[in-house]
Amino acid sequence: MPDFARAQLRRQRINFALFLGPALVLLAVFFVAPVIIDVVLAFTDMGRTLAVGKFTLENFERMVTRDTRLLGALGITFIFVVTTLGVFNVTFALLLALVTTAVPQRLGAFFRAVWLLPRMSPSVVYALLWLWVVDPNERGLLNQIVVHVFDMPPIDLRNNHPLLVIILANGFIGASLGMLIFTSAIRSIPEHLFHAARVDGAGSLAIVRHVTLPALRWPISYMTIHQSLSLLVSFEYILLITGGGPFYDTTVFSLYAYRRAFESGEYAYGAALSLILVVIGVVAALALWRLMDMKRLLQPPRIEVH
Amino acid sequence: MNWKHARSGMVAGLLLCAATASALADDVVIKVWSRADRSGPLRAGNIVAAGDTLNKMLAAAGSEKRVKIELNETNAKGYDDDALDLLKAFAVDKGPDIFVLAHEWTGAFAEAGYAQNLEDHISKNPELYGDIIVPLWQSVSYKGARYGVPQDSEVRMYFLNNDKLRKLGKTDKEIAALPAKVDAGEFTAYDLCDLAGQAVQKGVVKYGILHRPNAGPDFQMLMESFGLVPYDKDAAKLQASKAALKDFFTWVKYCVDKKALSATNTSMSWDAIEQASFGKEEALVFFHGVWRVTDQTKAWNLKGKDDYQRKITWINAPAGKKGGKPTNLSHPIAYAVSAKSKNKELAAYIVALASQPIPNMRHSVTTNHTPINYGGQSMPEVVDKGWALVAATPMLKYASFMPNHPKIGQYNAVIFKGIQGVETGRLTAQAAADFVADELGNELGKDVVIKN
């Protein structure tokens, strides 16, 4: 091999290590390693002392034969993910994007910023605000309205409708991401299409239906997949607001796994439960990918519009 | 910077390191792990003070050696969470030399090889340990050996607000007769809920009975009133009887239906419960332990025993049935020495110093926990400031300890979930009994025996 070719190859390798290296290390340490550790742990008997005594299938046997809470946790997770996603993270986000792009630009930007505020505040602060909103006493924000405006007795949402509380809390914060993505997608629709539609006599709703929505197909598909996976594993606000309760009413699967691992000290069992969550996540992602025909999104465009 | 400067800087740095190292060479560092607990700051404080005492002795002996106590106060929300954190710390070799634990965790730490067997040390030093109240040793014994030193003890009780009872139409004579009626088995757990429920329904108070909002030892005495004994000594296993569980949860459901127990109790914070029980006086009955006398005295600005007793009445947990026995529970906190420590012997002697009557009495009178030494009970300060401890001691006649089983913490957590399920209307009595039986089997596997 001539010298310059060898030098070029070396340079390529150095560039590869330089540019892709950090990303690969990051992936390996934070994404690949935890999955491998989780898989290994799931087949051990690691308990409170973190000691591994033997490799075993007992965790999975327990899941199938003894764990009476498992199905309940799965059911709650399903309701939580589908409702939060369907009502807030996609539909409400879309509504926000449509409305804030229809009003004058500055006003739209202002409202989007308001909706982004919860994202900017620390989760504990956001959760504390919710705790105050749904406080069962008359001092709670919601109850101040219920009691003084509607003249009704105070309500206790956290105890009587805990699932609703966690869906609202997750939804209001979750809608902002979709709002941003959809807004930028709407902005990228060529202006002349709107003018043309107007000339053809289309009303505002018809424009949304026939011009805007078709252009949002891919962003909506992407948000659906991304947010369902994200909701599947998130329990931060649930832990802070209801603690998974009352009883097990808001214990979603990921929180259930966390509880078993870190509150009962059954680390191996928690790892086995998390492994199930990984499997559910992968299956859901593949199914949605197929269902929404995401493959087409990644194909090179056949026509280029200038 | 030129080379000369750099070199002189380096030399100075090395000298500084050497000087620090030689200064540190004579310091023996003893690490202490203790949960930061408002109801007992001297648990760790007495260990620090013991270090100071020891250092004075060393100085007097002309020794250069000093003991340095490094205190790590954790913010776990309860002793069970703290124990889990500590087990993790030990597992990664970050354990302390001395740790403070709830006595029922002794078994778990002994089993894991983290708690030092102190049998030898204690029996060789009768002059340091000989005054400790003998039955208390049972709480830190595991498989026939002592793995810890009791730090305090206590009495648990229902606190009844006399002013609210008077509002309910009870005479002072009736109120004064109540504790004896409970002890005689005439006033049952059901009667208590009738009384508390009545107070809520008549609008005298917002809450009938308030109890702790999280899992903990308190509920064991209530269950024992219904014949639920959590431990089978002979088999050395935890146990639960389905029939007794059903009886217990039937009572809980009864109290919920009577409005004596509130659906929100288990979702309230400790602060909210304390405010409702003391400051705002929204509860007829508060269920906890004698150390709460400190908070109550402060909240109502009570002056001494008579003033206190005009305001509050104590009762044991009443029997489940008429003619039955009341129950109580003593839940000692203990010191343990790490079996992994390089300075086990020294750490054990520091624990011994901290357990002497004077420092232990200071903890007792400032926080209203009963002393661990026979001598402590008769000290003028205990008799004077600790009147509540003297007054509560007779209640210990009905007390038991929690079983010293490594998984009792999980057992308690399951029972608590059952109580929460019934209180919040998620479970019926039967469903709660089934849930607890299932869940105990599920979580504890071979460590528990479920009986019919």
What would the mean pLDDT of B407-411 be, rounded to a whole number? 88
Interface test with B, best of A45, A48, A267 (most B CBs within 10 A): A48
What would the mean pLDDT of B400-428 be, rounded to a whole number? 91
What would the mean pLDDT of B57-82 be, rounded to a whole number? 92
What would the mean pLDDT of B252-279 be, rounded to a whole number? 92
Q: What is the pLDDT of residue B370?
A: 86
In this predicted structure, the answer to whether residue B285 has a pLDDT above a threshold of 50 is: yes
Residues paired with B34 in a beta bridge: B73
Within-domain flag for A26: no
Q: Which residues, including other chains, have CB under 8 Å from residue A290's CB and lie 6 or more apart?
A: none
Tell me the pLDDT tens digit for each residue of A196-237: 998 998 888 899 898 899 889 889 999 999 999 999 998 999
Interface test with B, best of A264, A266, A269, A273 (most B CBs within 10 A): A264
What would the mean pLDDT of B403-408 be, rounded to a whole number? 84
Tell me the pLDDT tens digit for each residue of B359-396: 999 999 888 888 888 888 788 888 888 888 888 888 88
For A69, the token pair is 């809470």
Q: What is the pLDDT of residue B8?
A: 54
In this predicted structure, the answer to whether residue A86 has a pLDDT above a threshold of 90 is: yes
Taken in order B428, B430, B432, B438, is the CA torsion positive or negative?
negative
Crossing angle of the two packed helices A217-233 and A162-187, in degrees rounded to 10? 150
Q: Tell me if B87 and A66 make a contact (CB, 8 A cut-off).
A: no
Q: Which amino acid is at B394?
A: P
- Say which residue, B393 or B124, is predicted with more confidence: B124
Q: Tell me if B112 and A48 make a contact (CB, 8 A cut-off).
A: yes
In this predicted structure, the answer to whether residue A241 has a pLDDT above a threshold of 80 is: yes
Spell out which chain B residues touch chain A, with contact meaning CB-CB distance below 8 angstroms. 81, 84, 87-88, 90-92, 108, 112, 114, 263-264, 266-267, 410, 413, 417, 420-421, 424, 426-427, 435, 438-439, 441-443
Q: Which of 133-192 (A) contact B at CB < 8 A? A: 136, 156, 158-159
Q: Which of 217-276 (A) contact B at CB < 8 A? A: 242-243, 245-249, 262-266
pTM of the model: 0.83
* Nearest alpha carbon to residue B390 among B417, B364, B418: B364
Q: What is the pLDDT of residue B146?
A: 96
In this predicted structure, the answer to whether residue A299 has a pLDDT above a threshold of 80 is: no
Within-domain flag for A34: no
- Say which residue, B68 or A49, is predicted with more confidence: B68
How does residue B351 score in pLDDT terms, banded at 50, 70 and 90?
A: very high
- Rounded-to-integer distance, Cα B89 and Cα B407, Å: 19
Q: What is the pLDDT of residue B15?
A: 46
CA angle A24, A27, A29 (to 5 degrees): 105
Within-domain flag for A170: yes
In this predicted structure, the answer to whether residue B28 has a pLDDT above a threshold of 80 is: yes
Nearest residue in A to B83, CA atom: A48
Crossing angle of the two packed helices A217-233 and A70-83, in degrees rounded to 10? 150
Distance from CA of A90 to the nearest CA of B (A): 32
Q: Tell me if B266 and A67 make a contact (CB, 8 A cut-off).
A: no
Encode A250-271: b = buried (16+ Cβ within 10 Å), e = exposed. bbbbbbbbbbbbebbbbbbbbb
- Rounded-to-integer distance, Cα A121 and Cα A98, Å: 25
Q: Is A284 within 8 Å of A169 (Cβ atoms)?
A: no
Please classify residue B171 by burial: count the beta carbons closer than 10 Å to its beta carbon, then call 0-12 exposed, 13-18 middle and 19+ buried. exposed
Q: What is the value of ipTM here, to two decimals?
A: 0.77
What would the mean pLDDT of B425-438 be, rounded to a whole number? 94
Within-domain flag for A84: yes
Distance from CA of A247 to the nearest CA of B (A): 5
- Rounded-to-integer distance, Cα A80 and Cα B317, Å: 41
- Rounded-to-integer distance, Cα B325 and Cα B317, Å: 9
Q: Is B426 within 8 Å of B452 (Cβ atoms)?
A: no
- Say which residue, B233 or A56, is predicted with more confidence: A56
Q: What is the pLDDT of residue B375?
A: 85
Contacts 24+ apart (CB under 8 A), A207-213: A208/A98, A212/A98, A212/A186
Distance from CA of B110 to the nearest CA of A (A): 11
Q: Over pLDDT 70: what percentage of chain B?
A: 94
Crossing angle of the two packed helices A267-291 and A33-42, in degrees rounded to 10? 120
Q: What is the pLDDT of residue B435?
A: 94
How does residue B173 score in pLDDT terms, banded at 50, 70 and 90?
A: very high
Q: Which residues, including other chains, have CB under 8 Å from residue B81's CB and lie 6 or more apart?
A: A263
In this predicted structure, the answer to whether residue B217 has a pLDDT above a threshold of 60 is: yes
- Rounded-to-integer distance, Cα B25 and Cα B14, Å: 16
In this predicted structure, the answer to whether residue A274 has a pLDDT above a threshold of 90 is: yes
Within-domain flag for A188: yes
Q: Tell me if A265 and B87 make a contact (CB, 8 A cut-off).
A: yes
CATH code, domain with A134: 1.10.3720.10
Count structural domains, chain A. Answer: 1
The per-residue pLDDT of chain B, averaged, comes to 90
Within-domain flag for A280: yes
Q: What is the pLDDT of residue B21?
A: 45
What would the mean pLDDT of A66-88 be, rounded to a whole number? 93
Distance from CA of B241 to the nearest CA of A (A): 19
For residue A48, the chain B residues in CB contact (below 8 A) are 84, 87-88, 108, 112
Range from B47-51, B68-72, B135-139, B346-350 carrying the lowest mean pLDDT? B135-139
How does residue A135 score in pLDDT terms, banded at 50, 70 and 90?
A: confident
Closest Cβ–Cβ partner in A67, A69, A158 for B267: A158
In this predicted structure, the answer to whether residue B280 has a pLDDT above a threshold of 60 is: yes
Distance from CA of B424 to the nearest CA of A (A): 7
- Rounded-to-integer distance, Cα B449 and Cα B74, Å: 34
How does residue B443 score in pLDDT terms, banded at 50, 70 and 90?
A: confident
What would the mean pLDDT of B397-403 be, rounded to a whole number? 86
Q: Quick count: other Cβ atoms within 10 Å of Cβ B325?
A: 16
Q: What is the pLDDT of residue B381?
A: 86
Give the dihedral of Cα atoms B9, B11, B14, B18; nearest 10 deg.
Answer: -130
- DSSP designation for A161: S
Q: Which amino acid is at B8?
A: S
- Say which residue, B382 or B251, is predicted with more confidence: B251
For residue A245, the chain B residues in CB contact (below 8 A) are 266-267, 420, 424
Within-domain flag for A270: yes
For residue B441, the chain A residues in CB contact (below 8 A) are 66
How does residue B269 score in pLDDT terms, banded at 50, 70 and 90?
A: confident
How does residue B4 score in pLDDT terms, banded at 50, 70 and 90?
A: low
Q: Tell me if B443 and A266 make a contact (CB, 8 A cut-off).
A: yes
Total CB pairs under 8 A between chain A and B: 67
- Rounded-to-integer distance, Cα B270 and Cα B289, Å: 14
With residue B67 as reference, give the H or E element that holds it. strand B66-74
Q: Tell me if B427 and A247 make a contact (CB, 8 A cut-off).
A: yes
Q: What is the pLDDT of residue A306?
A: 54
Q: What is the pLDDT of residue B1?
A: 43
How does residue B66 score in pLDDT terms, banded at 50, 70 and 90?
A: very high
Within-domain flag for A298: no
Q: What is the pLDDT of residue B18?
A: 45
For residue A179, the enclosing domain spans 42-46+53-292
What would the mean pLDDT of B27-53 be, rounded to a whole number? 93
